[in-house]
Amino acid sequence: MKEFTKKATHLFNSSLAIIVFILIWEICARLEIFNPVFFPPFSKVVKALYGLAASGELWKHCSISLMRSLSGFTLGMFVAIPLGLVIGWFKKAEVFLYPLLQVFRNMPTLALLPVFVMFFGIGEFSKTMVILWGVLWATLLNTIAGVRNVDPQLIKAARSMGVGSLRLFGTVVLPASLPYIFAGMRISATVSILILIAAEMMGASKGLGYALFFYQSNFKIPEMYAVLIVMAVFGVTLNYTLEKVEKRSFRWRDGADTP
The pLDDT tens digits of the residues spanning 11-70 come to 667 778 888 999 999 999 998 888 888 899 999 999 999 999 999 888 888 888 888 888
Cα separation, 135 vs 73, whole angstroms: 6
Same domain assignment for residues 116 and 128: yes
Does the pLDDT of residue 256 top 50, yes or no?
no
**Rounded to a whole number, what is the distance in angstroms from the first to the last CA of the chain?**
33
pLDDT over 90 (residue 106): no
Label residue 139 by pLDDT band (50, 70, 90).
very high
Least confident range from 84-93, 160-169, 211-220: namely 160-169
Residue 46 is assigned to a structural domain of this protein: yes
Q: Which residues contact 228 (CB under 8 A, 6 or more apart)?
A: 212
In a domain? residue 5: yes
Name the band, by pLDDT with cuts 50, 70 and 90, for residue 174.
confident
Distances (CA, A) of 248 to 96, 242, 243, 253: 36, 10, 9, 10
Domain contains 258 = no
pLDDT exceeds 60 at position 255: no
Cα(143)–Cα(124) distance, integer angstroms:
28
Residues 35 and 88 in one domain: no
Which residue did the predictor score with more confidence, 169 or 76?
76
Is 200 found in the same domain as 167?
Answer: yes
Q: Tell me: do 29 and 13 sit in the same domain.
A: yes
Q: How far apart are CA 122 and CA 68, in angstroms?
A: 14
Residue 248 near residue 256 (C-beta atoms within 8 A):
no
Tell me, yes or no, whether 23 and 44 share the same domain.
Answer: no
Provide the pLDDT for residue 252.
Answer: 52
Return the amino acid letter for 82: P
Question: Are residues 33 and 58 both part of a single domain?
Answer: no
Tell me, yes or no, whether 134 and 238 share the same domain: yes
Query: Residue 33: its pLDDT value, please?
Result: 87
Is the pLDDT reported for residue 166 higher than 60? Answer: yes
Q: Report the distance separating Cα 70 and Cα 1, nearest Å.
A: 39
Would the pLDDT of 110 be above 70? Answer: yes
pLDDT for 149 equals 87
Closest by alpha carbon to 181, among 35, 76, 254?
Answer: 76
**Residue 178 scores a pLDDT above 70:** yes
Residue among 122, 87, 124, 92 nearest 104 (CA): 87
Do 61 and 1 have their domain in common?
Answer: no
In terms of Cα–Cα distance, which of 255, 85, 243 is closest to 177? 85
What average pLDDT does range 121-139 have in this prediction?
86
- The pLDDT of residue 173 is 83
Closest CA to 89 of 9, 3, 168: 168
Q: Which of 185, 151, 189, 168 is nearest to 81 (CA)?
A: 185
Span 218-241, average pLDDT: 88
| 16 within a domain of the structure (yes/no) | yes
Total domains present in the chain: 2
Report how far residue 67's alpha carbon sits from residue 15's, in angstroms, rounded to the nearest whole number.
29
Q: Are residues 100 and 124 in the same domain?
A: yes
Asked whether residue 259 is assigned to any structural domain, the reply reads: no
Question: Domain range for residue 3?
Answer: 1-39
Residues 44, 6 share a domain:
no
User: For residue 56, what is the DSSP state?
Assistant: T
* Whether 141 and 24 share a structural domain: no
Lowest-confidence range among 12-16, 56-60, 170-174, 219-223?
A: 12-16
Residues 6+ apart with CB under 8 A from 52: 58, 223, 226, 227
CATH number of the domain at 181, please.
1.10.3720.10
Q: Given pLDDT bands bounded at 50, 70 and 90, which one contains residue 204?
A: confident
**Residue 3, domain member (yes or no):** yes
- The pLDDT of residue 154 is above 80: no
Closest CA to 204 of 126, 112, 109, 116: 126
Same domain, 99 and 138: yes
Instruction: State the Cα torsion 102-106-107-109 to the nearest 10°.
Output: 110
Whether residue 13 is contained in a domain is answered as: yes
